[in-house]
């Protein structure tokens, strides 16, 4: 529109205005099914994001548990070195009184050297574990915040689960596991696509309109009426599309069912592994305590000349082996606990 004037005359309005409208009637639910399918696909995409986040959390937890395990191995190696040094000093003292032989003294010195040679590799493994945690946290190795870096680098006890896992009921798992939510949402989307394909078999009805106003002439034109679209042929490819969508829906349902069964089996397996690791760690802790008592007794009787150097060495090696085994089982127990929680979908 606009205004024009000339020769002293007043302004003259010119122009036209048009307004159109279109409304699609949905008696067969085609648009509703399309929206439902889109919403289901969105739910599936969000669940896939949660699955990726849960996998990242598991990797970070395992890296942290492995770091504490490696630090524990360093602490055990340092303790073993200290014990071997004490044995060397005791053997040297006994050697001066001719209660220990030169061979026993050489073996004691060799054992100290062996323990020292083991430490650099264990400390390098700790440094690698720190780098792994940093990378999984999204930082370059050594680039974590100083407080967090100091906290991780400081030796600490191995994490031990203090709570029994809350397995709950299968319905809880169906709501919490991202892979099950993906399968369920994919099934809902497939069902909606079936409804969308079936709606396409029937005529579609829409309401359209047009309003036109001529500002200069003062005329008003309008049109309002329905529009009917019929399928091209009764036997065209739309029925085949319905059959294909139905097949996809059945496949999606079977995938959902199989995913649920696999999830239940994974939970049962993870729970059994956690309980086995917990029982093994408890037995290993008792064995380590008893081996330590036997070593202390053997050291005293060796000092009194009532046990051989070989007896003391065997007792010390039994303690070192029992402690390493306990550390490994505690790592397995903690990792099994983390894996069980992931199988349950906790954290997603």
pLDDT in tens, 213-263: 655 555 666 555 556 565 655 556 777 888 888 999 999 999 999 999 998
- Using CB atoms within 10 A of its CB, is residue 39 exposed (0-12), middle (13-18) or buried (19+)? middle
Per the prediction, the chain carries an average pLDDT of 83
Residue 119, token pair as written in the block:
């430490």
For the chain, give the percent of residues with pLDDT over 90: 48
Cα distance between the two ends of the chain? 58
Which residue matches tokens 């205005």? 17
∠ CA(291), CA(293), CA(294), 5° rounding? 65
pLDDT at 152: 92
Residue 222, token pair as written in the block: 């309008």
Q: Is 120 exposed, middle or buried (0-12, 13-18, 19+ CB in 10 A)?
A: exposed
Q: What is the pLDDT averaged over residues 300-315?
A: 90
- Region 312-325: what's the mean pLDDT? 96
CB 193, CB 245: distance < 8 Å: yes
Token code pair at residue 267: 């939970």
- 215 sits in the region (left: phi over 0; alpha: psi -120 to 50; else beta) called alpha
CA separation for the pair 317, 326 (Å, rounded):
14
The model's confidence at residue 313, banded by pLDDT at 50, 70 and 90, is very high
Q: Dump pLDDT digits (tens) for 128-187.
A: 999 999 999 888 988 889 999 999 999 889 999 876 766 666 666 667 789 999 999 999
Predicted local confidence at residue 307, as pLDDT? 87
Residue 98: its pLDDT value, please?
75
Buried b (16+ CB within 10 A) or exposed e, 164-191: ebeeeeeeebbebbbbbbbbbbbbbbbb
CA separation for the pair 204, 68 (Å, rounded): 66
Distance CA 288, CA 76 (A): 12
pTM: 0.77
Residue 143 is predicted with a pLDDT of: 87
Q: Tell me how crowded residue 279 is: count the other CB atoms within 10 A of its CB.
A: 12
Among 69-78, 156-165, 244-253, 334-343, whose mean pLDDT is lowest? 156-165
């Amino acid at each position: 529109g606009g205004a024009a004037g000339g020769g002293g005359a007043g302004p003259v309005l010119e122009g036209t205005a048009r307004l159109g409208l279109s409304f699609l009637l949905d008696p067969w639910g085609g648009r509703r099914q399309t929206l439902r399918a889109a919403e289901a696909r969105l739910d599936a995409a969000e669940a896939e994001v949660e699955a990726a986040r849960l996998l990242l959390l598991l990797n970070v937890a395992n890296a942290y548990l492995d770091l504490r395990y490696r630090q524990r191995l360093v602490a055990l190696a340092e303790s073993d070195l200290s014990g071997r040094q004490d044995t060397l000093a005791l053997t040297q003292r006994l050697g001066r009184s001719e209660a220990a032989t030169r061979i026993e003294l050489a073996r004691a010195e060799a054992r100290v050297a062996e323990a020292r040679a083991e430490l650099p590799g264990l400390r390098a493994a700790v440094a690698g574990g720190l780098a792994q945690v940093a990378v999984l946290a999204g930082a370059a190795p050594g680039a974590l915040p100083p407080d967090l870096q100091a906290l991780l680098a400081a030796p600490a006890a191995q994490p031990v689960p203090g709570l029994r896992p809350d397995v709950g009921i299968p319905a809880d798992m169906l709501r919490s596991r991202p892979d099950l939510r993906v399968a369920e949402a994919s099934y809902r989307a497939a069902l909606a696509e079936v409804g969308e394909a079936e709606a396409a078999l029937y005529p579609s009805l829409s309401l359209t309109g047009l309003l036109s106003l001529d500002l200069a002439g003062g005329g008003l034109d309008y049109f309002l009426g329905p529009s009917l679209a019929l399928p091209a042929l009764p036997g065209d490819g739309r029925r085949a599309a319905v059959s294909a969508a139905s097949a996809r829906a059945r496949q999606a349902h079977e995938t959902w069912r199989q995913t649920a069964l696999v999830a239940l089996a994974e939970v049962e397996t993870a729970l059994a592994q956690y309980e086995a690791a917990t029982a093994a760690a408890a037995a290993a802790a008792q064995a380590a305590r008893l081996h330590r008592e036997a070593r202390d007794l053997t050291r005293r009787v060796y000092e009194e000349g009532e046990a051989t150097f070989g007896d003391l060495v065997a007792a010390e090696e039994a303690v070192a082996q029992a402690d390493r085994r306990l550390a490994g089982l505690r790592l397995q127990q903690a990792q099994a606990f983390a894996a069980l929680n992931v199988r349950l979908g906790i954290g997603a």
